[in-house]
C-alpha cells in the first residue's frame, strides 16, 4: 500500500510517495519514500521532476552504494549520524565519482540518482560540514567502532601529507616544511592504514610546523586506544633520523627507507655491487623482476635488518636520463654568452639542474669558463640508481618487506587525488568546524576508494581501468523515468557484468 505525504524543507514543500512493507530481517513494518517533486505554492499541485521521459546516471552511485554496504559503512554511519548519514554518503559518492570540488555536487545530483532526500547546495554542504565538525565525540566514536571492525590487521601503514591554506583562523595551520613547495602555511594530515585489510582505520591532523618523525609516539597512543597496539609501522623516508631510531620503543616495529646520504647506505651499495647482479638473488614481485640482498647493520648501537633492492629496468632508464642531461648541459655551456661570463654560467646551471655543483666544477681555460665533470661523484650517482634500501627492526622476508612498503601507494595516490584532482591543494575552508568536517568526509571517501583499489589490484582490473574510468563505465547505466512512477534500468553490457562480478555486486535493478 502506498500514499503521498508532504514535507516542508526551508521555504518549499515537497511531495513524497510512501510505500509500507514488512521487513523480514527486523520483523517489523518499514517504509520506503520516493521523491516525487515540489508542491506548487499557488495551485497546491505537484510540480513533477519526472514528467514524460527523463534519464538519470545510475550505475556509478549504485556501485558505490553497494561498496559501502559491503563495508557495513552505511550501517555504522546511520547509527552514529542518523540525521545526516545519507547526505554524507552522497557527498562521498560525488567526490569519488567526479573528482571535483563539492560546490558542484548540486548540479551533479540533478542528473544522477542518489540516496540523499534533499538537494545539496553549496550553502547546505557548508552547513553539513560545520555540523559534522562540531560533533567531535561522534566522529571519534565512529573511528573507534570502525577500527574495531577491522582489528585483525598484522601491519600498520602510517603516512602523512600536508594541505596549504589561505585561511587565517584554523588551528594547527602553521609554517613548516612544505611538500608542494608553496609559500603558504599548512596543516599535516596523517592516516593509519591496516594490512592485510588494505583499509584506512584512523586519521589525525598535526600542526604544519611539526616534523614527521615527531608524530610517531602519539600515534602509538592512538593505536593503544584503538586496541591496535601490536602492529608494524610502514613509514616514509621523511620519518628517518638516527635520533628517531634511538627513541623507538621496543613494541614499535617498523619498515623505513634508509636515505642515500646515510653512510650505511653508501657502504651497503658498494659492498653488494656484484651480489645484486647474481641470478640467485632475483625474485618476482607481481610481474616485475627484482634483485635483493638482506644484511644486519648497526646504527647508533642498535642492530637492524637492511634489505637492499635493485630494479634493473629502472636503473637503465634513470642512467640514460641522467647522462642525457649531462651531455645536453655540456653542449649548452659551449655557447659564447655562457662560457664568457661566470655569473651567467652559474645562473644557468642553477636553473637547469638542482645540485649541479655536486656533479660539475667550473674551470677557466684560455679566458673561457667551462664545466668539468666530477667523475667520482657522477660514478656514485650512477651506482645508486635503481636501488633502494629498506630498514626494519623485525625479521621478515625481503620480498614481503618490499610488498608491504609498496602498498603505501594507495594512500599516496589518494592524497594526490585529494590535493589536485578535486581542487583541494589549497584549502579554502575558513572555520575550524568546517575544516574538521571536511577531513572526516575525506576519510570516508578514502575508505571506499581504498576498497575499490584493493579489488582492482586483486582482480587485475587496474590493467584496463583507473578508478575514474571505472566510474565512467558504470555511469553508462541509466535509470529511465517514464512518467511520475514508471522507471526502468538500461541494459548492462558484458564488460559491466564482468566488473560487477569481480566486485561481487549483483546486477543493478530499479531502486
Q: Which residue has the cell 553539513?
A: 128
Place of cell 588551528: 171
Q: Which residues contact 61 (CB under 8 A, 6 or more apart)?
A: 93, 97, 112, 113, 114, 115
Please give the Cα distance from 120 to 182 (Å, whole number).
Answer: 32
Give dist(CA 271, CA 266) in Å, integer.
9
* Number of Cα atoms under 13 Å in the Cβ half of residue 288: 14
pLDDT in tens, 119-132: 788 888 888 998 99
- Secondary structure, 3-state, 66-85: HHHHHCCHHHHHHHHCCCCH
Task: Provide the β-strand partners of residue 161.
Answer: 189
From first CA to last CA, the distance across the chain in angstroms is: 17
User: What is the model's pLDDT at position 455?
Assistant: 92
Query: Exposed (0-12), middle (13-18) or buried (19+): which is 28, by Cβ within 10 Å?
Result: exposed
Residues 474, 112: Cα–Cα separation, whole Å: 12
ω into 196 cis (within 30 of 0): yes
Name residue, grid cell 540525521: 83
CB 91 within 8 A of CB 124: no
Tell the burial category of 55 from Cβ atoms under 10 Å away from its Cβ (0-12, 13-18, 19+). Answer: exposed
CA distance 44 to 345: 79
For residue 339, the surrounding DSSP H or E stretch is helix 336-339
Q: CB within 8 A of 508, min separation 6: which ones?
A: 58, 59, 62, 63, 477, 489, 492, 500
Q: Which helix (H) or strand (E) holds 450?
A: helix 432-458
- Residue-level pLDDT at 481: 74
The helix (H) or strand (E) run that includes residue 13 is strand 12-23
User: Helices in 135-228 by DSSP H: which ranges?
Assistant: 136-148, 216-225
**Among 218, 168, 130, CA closest to 441:** 130
| pLDDT tens, residue by residue, 56-101 | 899 999 999 999 999 999 999 999 999 899 999 999 999 999 888 8
Query: How crowded is the C-beta side of 294, counted as CA atoms within 13 Å?
Result: 15
pTM of the prediction?
0.69
| Cα–Cα nearest to 215, from 173, 141, 159 | 159
Domains of the chain in sequence order: 1-49 (no CATH), 55-134+432-511 (no CATH), 138-311+386-430 (3.90.350.10), 313-384 (no CATH)
Alpha-carbon gap, residue 336 to 332, rounded angstroms: 10
Q: Is 172 in contact with 187 (CB distance < 8 Å)?
A: yes
* Cα angle for residues 374, 379, 381 (degrees, 5° grid): 95
Q: Give the pairing of strands 2-9 and 12-23.
A: antiparallel
Q: What is the pLDDT along the chain (511 residues), one digit of tens a residue?
A: 456 677 777 677 776 767 676 666 666 777 777 666 677 676 666 555 545 557 889 999 999 999 999 999 999 999 999 989 999 999 999 999 988 888 888 889 888 888 887 778 888 888 899 899 899 999 999 998 998 887 666 667 777 766 655 455 545 444 444 444 555 456 777 788 777 777 888 888 765 455 656 677 777 777 777 776 566 778 777 778 777 777 666 667 888 999 988 888 888 998 998 888 889 999 998 778 999 999 998 887 788 999 999 999 999 999 999 999 888 888 887 776 667 777 777 788 788 778 788 888 888 877 777 788 889 888 888 889 999 999 998 888 999 899 888 877 666 666 665 555 434 433 445 577 888 888 899 899 989 998 998 899 889 898 889 888 999 999 999 988 776 567 788 889 999 999 999 999 999 887 6
The per-residue pLDDT for 442 is 86
- Burial status of residue 114 (CB atoms within 10 A of its CB: 0-12, 13-18, 19 or more): buried
**How far is the CA of 502 from the CAs of 75, 322, 505, 506, in angstroms?**
23, 42, 8, 10
Q: In whole angstroms, what is the distance from residue 156 CA to residue 411 CA?
A: 12
Which run of H or E residues covers position 479? strand 478-482
β-strand pairing of 387-392 with 368-373:
unpaired
Nearest of 360, 363, 355 to residue 374 by alpha carbon = 360
Residues 362 and 342 sit within 8 Å (Cβ to Cβ):
yes
Residue 111 burial (10 A CB sphere; 0-12, 13-18, 19+) = exposed
**In 342-431, which ranges are continuous DSSP H helix?**
342-352, 375-384, 398-406, 408-416
Per the DSSP assignment, residues forming a β-bridge with 295 are 306
Q: Rounded to whole angstroms, how far apart are CA atoms 108 and 97?
A: 10
Amino acid at each position: 500500500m502506498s500514499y503521498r505525504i508532504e514535507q516542508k524543507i526551508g521555504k518549499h514543500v515537497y511531495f513524497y510517495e510512501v510505500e509500507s512493507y514488512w521487513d523480514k530481517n527486523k520483523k517489523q513494518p518499514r517504509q520506503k519514500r520516493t521523491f516525487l517533486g515540489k508542491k506548487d505554492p499557488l495551485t497546491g499541485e505537484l510540480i513533477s521532476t519526472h514528467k514524460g521521459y527523463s534519464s538519470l546516471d545510475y550505475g556509478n552511485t549504485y556501485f558505490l552504494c553497494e561498496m559501502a554496504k559491503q563495508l557495513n559503512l552505511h550501517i555504522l554511519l546511520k547509527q552514529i549520524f542518523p540525521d545526516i548519514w545519507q547526505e554524507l554518503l552522497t557527498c562521498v559518492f560525488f567526490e569519488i565519482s567526479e573528482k571535483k570540488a563539492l560546490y558542484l555536487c548540486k548540479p551533479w545530483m540533478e542528473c544522477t540518482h542518489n540516496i540523499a532526500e534533499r538537494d545539496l547546495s553549496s550553502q547546505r554542504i557548508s552547513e553539513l560540514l560545520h555540523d559534522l565538525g562540531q560533533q567531535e565525540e561522534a566522529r571519534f566514536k565512529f573511528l573507534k567502532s570502525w577500527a574495531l571492525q577491522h582489528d585483525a590487521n598484522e601491519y600498520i601503514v602510517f603516512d602523512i601529507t600536508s594541505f596549504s591554506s589561505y585561511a587565517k583562523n584554523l588551528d594547527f595551520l602553521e609554517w613548516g616544511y612544505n611538500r608542494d613547495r608553496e609559500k603558504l602555511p599548512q596543516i599535516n594530515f596523517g592516516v593509519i592504514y591496516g594490512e592485510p585489510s588494505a583499509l584506512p582505520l584512523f586519521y589525525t591532523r598535526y600542526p604544519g610546523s611539526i616534523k614527521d618523525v615527531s608524530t610517531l609516539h602519539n600515534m602509538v597512543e592512538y593505536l593503544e586506544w584503538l586496541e591496535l597496539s601490536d602492529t608494524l609501522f610502514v613509514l616514509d623516508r621523511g620519518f628517518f633520523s638516527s635520533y628517531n631510531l634511538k627513541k623507538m620503543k621496543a613494541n614499535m616495529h617498523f619498515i623505513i627507507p634508509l636515505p642515500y646520504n646515510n653512510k650505511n647506505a653508501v657502504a651497503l651499495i658498494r659492498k653488494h655491487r656484484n651480489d645484486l647482479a647474481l641470478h640467485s638473488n632475483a625474485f618476482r614481485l607481481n610481474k616485475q623482476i627484482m634483485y635483493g640482498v638482506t644484511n644486519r647493520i648497526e646504527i647508533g648501537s642498535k642492530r637492524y635488518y637492511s634489505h637492499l633492492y635493485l630494479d634493473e629496468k629502472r636503473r637503465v632508464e634513470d642512467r640514460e636520463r641522467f647522462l642525457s642531461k649531462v651531455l645536453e648541459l655540456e653542449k649548452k655551456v659551449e655557447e659564447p654568452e655562457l662560457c664568457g661570463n661566470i655569473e651567467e654560467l652559474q645562473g644557468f646551471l642553477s636553473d637547469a639542474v638542482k645540485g649541479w655543483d655536486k656533479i660539475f666544477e667550473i674551470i677557466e681555460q684560455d679566458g673561457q669558463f667551462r664545466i668539468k665533470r666530477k667523475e667520482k661523484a657522477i660514478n656514485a650517482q650512477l651506482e645508486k640508481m635503481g636501488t633502494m634500501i629498506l630498514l626494519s627492526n623485525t625479521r621478515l622476508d625481503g620480498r614481503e618487506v618490499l610488498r608491504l612498503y609498496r602498498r603505501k601507494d594507495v594512500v599516496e595516490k589518494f592524497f594526490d587525488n585529494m590535493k589536485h584532482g578535486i581542487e583541494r591543494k589549497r584549502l579554502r575552508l575558513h572555520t575550524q568546524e568546517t575544516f574538521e568536517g571536511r577531513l572526516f568526509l575525506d576519510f570516508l571517501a578514502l575508505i571506499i576508494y581504498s576498497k575499490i583499489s584493493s579489488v582492482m589490484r586483486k582482480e587485475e582490473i587496474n590493467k584496463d581501468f583507473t578508478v575514474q574510468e571505472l566510474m565512467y563505465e558504470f555511469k553508462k547505466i541509466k535509470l529511465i523515468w517514464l512518467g511520475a512512477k514508471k522507471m526502468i534500468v538500461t541494459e548492462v553490457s558484458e564488460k559491466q557484468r564482468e566488473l560487477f562480478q569481480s566486485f561481487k555486486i549483483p546486477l543493478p535493478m530499479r531502486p
